[in-house]
Chains A and B, each alone.
Chain A
Amino acid sequence: MAVDVRDTARAPETPFWLDARYRAIMFQVILLVLVVGFAGYIFYNTYQNLQRRGIASGFDFLGSTAGFDIIMHLVPYAASESFGRALLVGLLNTLAVAAIGIVLATILGFVVGVARLSRNWLISRIASIYIEVIRNIPLLLQIIFWYQVLGKSTPGPRQSIDIGGLFFINNRGLYMPAPVTEPGFWLTPVAFAAGVVATIVMHRWARARQMATGQQFPVLWTALGLIFGLPILVLLVTGMPFHWDYPKLQGFNFSGGMVLIPEFISLTFALVIYTGAFIGENVRAGIMAVNHGQTEASYALGLRPGPTLRLVVIPQAMRVIIPPLTSQYLNLTKNSSLATAIGYPDLVAVFAGTVLNQTGQAVECIAITMGVYLFLSLTTSVFMNWFNRRVALKER
């Protein structure tokens, strides 16, 4: 009987387009069709227009000879290599600036963030002036400024500033000796890797032991010994299988050794100074977000200020710091494309600049460049999100 009642009480059949469940899905399907259709239309129209105007299209050009040189390349490169190789050179140059910039800006940012909260009046004032000045000047101006300062304040190659006959500073860059490896050197990097692995194992063991027994272990000194001491020891035992290549003044310029070109130095410097100011504010906000009661409780338990900061305040502050820190990392990577303004051969300058112009395939070159930046940003985000989950508050 009960069943019958329910059947008769049911509302008359609603058409499926008025049913809330189906309607939600239907709208999403319509949106998807529109988006895909629009993208398809653009793609087709572009292709048709390129065809009609007799402009070459496709990605075959990546294999043809580049025919131009690039001043800084981290992998072997010459004018006889392909456009694809030039893409790789530009990408690595971008990554070099981004990676070094991220590391240095993080260090600077943490120092400045902590300094701004210092009880020392002078230190906290210097930190706030730095942050307020740097954050409020456009980055492009800063890059050009540092480049000009570097160019104007350094002498020509023949009047180089000589530091011990090993380092030379002039308006062509910072020259330094380069290590040249000999057979048998491979053991040293292996020892370094082994040191890193051993440190991770040791750290876990020490933590487990401290949790169990309360005994502390000198992790920092052991880690330094494993990571740096071990490779040096191996180097000595194998009989120093490398020699230094020193820069020498020959003709117009120095040759030999390694060189950091002024474009690289000023771009990295400007990016670090700029991003460091933002990170400093993030760090300050993060530390201030930790309730002062936490510090007092820690003191009450007998922890000294150092361990209090390291074990109580920073871990909690990190939860607040990391999400904005991620976007600063992304900003730094994307801002490195301003390199074009001073002639640093980054991805945009080399690929979306020279290669685009030599081949004329604007659509392909811009698409590849955008794809690469998208990939870099998403990779950074994925890593930082993973890191964020690790330090996130674990609700128990």
Chain B
Amino acid sequence: MKKLSVIAAGAALIAFAAGDAQAQATLDAIKKRGQVICGVSQSLPGFANPDAQGNWAGFDVDMCRAISAAIFGDAKRVKFVPTTAKERFTALQSGEVDLLARNTTWTMSRDVQLGFDFAGINFYDGQGFMAKKSLGVKSALELKGATVCTQTGTTTEQNLADFFRSNKMEYKVVAMEKNDEVLAAYDSGRCDVFTTDRSGLAADRTKLKVPNDHVILPEVISKEPLGPLSRHGDNNWNDIIRWSFFAMLNAEELGVDSKNVDEMKKSANPEIKRLLGVEGDFGKMLNLDNAWAYNIIKLVGNYGETYEKNVGPNTPIGLSRGVNALWSKGGLQYAPPIR
């Protein structure tokens, strides 16, 4: 009922909101408020997870911090609002949050029908299944008759239906609202299989009592391009999110990271000069300071650094770069140049 009232309040906000909360209003509002309000997952290790002191950490959290660094030159001026899969869109539509950086799949209906703009794809993902090893399942195609636990209000729920329908297999779905509830239901044996994006599976597996008792099945049943998004209509704000992300990618490609960024300012490479604001007025184009990208790299790091720190092979999540490597290294991550 509480959740319902949150959504109802969001709907009411849409109803009462005065008309002209548009063009460039978001950046002005953020500057006035002194804080970016960022919608994140509730608890997903590696992506967005508060520690015992309430400090948020993770890959999506770093995206929010990068935007804060670009605007304020301070990575800490972010208010994190944990949202469930169900509430997140209402929260963004109603203006409760400035952006969502929260394992959200870019789909056509979300982009067009819900009134959002996706700023880019910062994580290429796909949906997978996790099952107990003791079941002896080797492939998702052996899941006929299985009970599957999933989170409600996600693309996962629909992909699941598509997958079983197209393979003419019967199944039962137990859909719950919070990811932790879904995982608890799977852990207690209510379901045979747990399904979400494969990055989420890797993250959630670390939360189980004995992670090695569970196996992630090889099939990837969908495309899940995840990325930050904002409300449709404020293009300046969307540009800031998009180029904050691209700046992190370009920095990795150019070999600029948080440790060498000060030396790199002296670099003769014109691309690096433009990135770090030594040449050109690229920050001003975004209504920001010219050191916007320098601040992101200095305070948060480049794309590769945040990946390795939060979800990379040396973390408990242990995801290799795979398709998320730079294009120059055989991956899909490719940023347009800053010029």
Question: Which residues of B have CB within 8 Å of A49?
Answer: 14-15, 17, 19
Question: B57 near A: Cβ within 8 Å?
Answer: no
Q: Are the C-beta atoms of A46 and B14 separated by less than 8 Å?
A: yes
Are B4 and A55 within 8 A (Cβ)?
A: no
Contact with A along B4-34 (1 / 0, CB 8 A): 1001101100111101001000000000000
CB of A184 closer than 8 Å to a CB of B: no
Given contact pairs A253-B147, A353-B86, A357-B85, A50 touches B14 in the complex (Cβ within 8 A) = yes
For the complex, is B176 an interface residue (Cβ under 8 Å from A)? Answer: yes
B188 engages A343 (CB within 8 Å): no
Q: Which of A71, A78, A337, A357 contacts B1 (CB 8 A)?
A: A337
Majority secondary structure of chain B interface residues (helix, strand, loop or mixed): mixed
Decide: A354 and B157 in contact? CB cutoff 8 A.
Answer: yes
The smallest C-beta distance from B189 to any residue of chain A, in angstroms, reads 5
Selected interface stretch from A207-215, A236-244, A304-312, A344-352: A344-352
Per-position binary interface string of chain B over residues 81-108, scored 1 when its CB falls under 8 Å from any chain A CB and 0 otherwise: 0000110011001000000000000000
- CB atoms of A56 and B145 under 8 A apart: no
A338 near B157: Cβ-Cβ < 8 Å: no
A67 to B1, Cβ gap below 8 A? no
Is the pair B93, A362 in contact by a Cβ cutoff of 8 Å? yes
Residues on A lying within 8 angstroms of B by beta carbon are 42, 45-46, 48-50, 52-56, 67-71, 78-80, 140, 151-152, 156, 171-172, 250-253, 255, 262-263, 337-338, 340-343, 345, 348-349, 352-354, 356-360, 362-363, 366, 369
Which of B147, B170, B175, B190 is most buried by chain A, counting CB atoms within 10 A of its CB? B190
A sample of 8 cross-chain residue pairs with beta-carbon separation below 8 angstroms, ordered by A number, consists of: A50-B115, A55-B93, A79-B162, A151-B188, A251-B145, A348-B4, A354-B86, A362-B10
Is B110 engaged at the interface, CB distance under 8 Å to the other chain? yes
Whether the pair B147, A358 counts as a contact (CB closer than 8 A) is no
Closest A residue by C-beta to B165: A79
Contact of B189 among A56, A171, A348 (CB under 8 A): A171
Inter-chain contact B153/A53, CB cutoff 8 Å: no
A42-B15, A53-B233, A357-B152 are known contacts. Are A67 and B114 too (CB-CB below 8 A)? no
Give every chain B residue within 8 A of A54 (Cβ-Cβ): 112, 115, 232-233
Output the nearest chain A residue to B111 by Cβ-Cβ distance: A54
Q: Which residue of B lies closest to A254 (CB)?
A: B145
Q: Tell whether B198 is near chain A: CB-to-CB under 8 Å.
A: no
15 further A-B contacts with Cβ under 8 Å, apart from A70-B173, A79-B165, are: A50-B14, A67-B162, A68-B175, A69-B160, A79-B161, A79-B162, A343-B185, A353-B153, A354-B153, A354-B157, A357-B152, A357-B153, A357-B154, A362-B7, A363-B11
